[in-house]
Structure 1
Amino acid sequence: MAVTIRDVARAAGVHVSTVSRTFSAPNLVKVDTRERVLAAAAELGYRPNQAARALTTGVTHNLGLIVADIANPFFPPLIKSAQSYARVRGYQVFVADTDEDPRAEEELISILAKQVDGVVLVSPRLSNAAIAGLSADLPFVVVNRNVKGLPAVLMDIGSGAATAVEHLAGLGHRRLMLLGGPRGSWTSEQMRRSAAAAAERSGVSLEITGPNAPTERGGRLAAAAVLEAGATGVIAYNDLMAIGTIEGLSGSGVEVPREVSVVGVDDTVAGRVARPKLTTIAMPTQEAGRSAVDLLLHAIDMPGGRGAAKTTLETSLVVRESTAPPPPLK
């Protein structure tokens, strides 16, 4: 038989309400009484019902984690890291996928708000104003979006994009193309700005296309634009797009990297096992998951002074087989 709160009250010689207060509001119970209740609970193996406690305290010990596309290999390492860290801190994580749809994102936030103590929003597609409005009554942390007044974990993709441009320029490429991501993507905008500035510094041309679907199919479709522009160096919004671009180019008889070099973003398993193995900008996804949960729990613990702490994580270029010097001019 499961141990109940009444069993603990009987063993400790107190009223049931005292046991309840010991677990929900321990500061309201005398120290000696609280210690007696906790000792009895430990001896009997009693575990308080979290759902029942949530009804009286408003604390669920649940967190929401909303991602743009759970099928994208960028997100699972971040999700796993966030879940593991939250569990160590005594929290469980509800994961939801918006399928890149800002309307679904808004709906999910509204639903989860009734069941969690705070939300981590990863690569959101909603506007900053909409996110700020939804976060008015619930602690929020955003990943890869800089929203005024909200804590954020930012991966320095701007620096990564600039490094990718410099890498291609250093190999001798003079006509580059940046395949932008979906509409509303903070990452895509940071890439666009930094890549354009790096191209100007390096003395190379850069054409930017987008918005594009951040998928393998999106990359295959974008391959036609690469061919039309005569670009010999390509930087894609993510690894999936980069792999799709390589497929699209191959289907048109263009070899990577002998004729066109391609750089991805994320450093996912898919890019590591692709042929050719993908040169990519490594994103610190696991560290981002832990940092986001840490910021969120701090915001939950200090509801009156959450502030807008920002954590910026470094990115790095991983050079593999999909980049090489351009073919000689004919």
Structure 2
Amino acid sequence: MFELLESLVNIDCGTYDKAGVDQVGDILAERLVALGFEVQRDPQKEYGDHVIGHKPGDGHQYILFIGHMDTVFPAGTVKKRPFRIEGDRAYGPGVVDMKGGITGLLFALEALKSTAPETYRRVAMDVVFNSDEEVLSPTSRPIIESRAKQAQAACVFEPARPGGEYVIQRKGVGKYILEVAGRAAHAGAQPEDGRSAVEELAHKIVALHALTDPSTGTNVNVGVIRGGERPNVIADHAYAEVDVRVAESKIAENIDQRIRDIAAAQLVPDTTCKLSGGIKFPPMLPTEESARLLSMIQKAGRELGLDLRGIATGGGSDGNHAAQFTPTIDGMGPQGGGAHSDREYIEVATLAERAKVTALFLAEWSNVK
């Protein structure tokens, strides 16, 4: 198990490192074929190819598994800090987000195939290993949605939450870019001839942050701003990137419209604003069906002496897409922390532990009529 994890972690595979992501895809495709899957590659130019596996079944059950191959780290990261185990933790780029989850899934399927071959044969399975999740899955979203429409359940192998919780609810995520154009002028000699793009953007930033409402779980954050070139020049351009988190679809629609209204409003004469982006991940909401999936996972946990719980989180994942069409459980991967940083790790014991839970859950789920 750790040999596979090490091989995956020790490949630089940032989202835009197509060669590296494709190398990871080659390893995973080979593993899926060995598990009886028919594998196809969805070719991409900017990102790595998506790896899609399908295993036919002869029963009525059909389940979807989702994991992403890309990380946020630049080329050369592996050379600086390759995979290593120290004490009860394993470290390395992408080890928790989400090479650990992918490794756990593959070993769970292998365990089910060897210990319950009839169950394994009966259940139809799809696996989507996508290459662009860290940039909000622009090319893989249609694939995930298409497969989710056919499935009766979906499992996403993002890491467990800090206390080992599975994820049953995620906020929707929006990304927006504002580009403001004004007119340059000398800030001392002819300021009246200028139209400050920075001033216009400043008004918009204040209005955007005012959309944050903790009572509804709404957060709007302008996290990146740029503008102007010199302090003695009225800025003719300004730029901002905005992150949005919303708890419900109706709120998402409302916030999206209000952001568009803010972008369209003009407070500094003769300035213009171009807005791009939108809600990229719809909210993932708990349902009675997803609660039943969690109940089966909890039963599997009890067999192993584990008290497993579900939790809501503010981060988005491909589970947000799948959940629009089928009951979905996320956080199926191992416990760890430090994602997207040089402190990233997994708790070693939880890698096999979560894989066992997944295998037991699948055996239980396959018997549901």
Give the TM-score taking structure 1 as reference length.
0.29
Instruction: Compare the two structures and name the one with the higher helix fraction.
Output: 1
Instruction: Compare the two structures and name the one with the higher strand fraction.
Output: 2
Greater radius of gyration (CA): 1
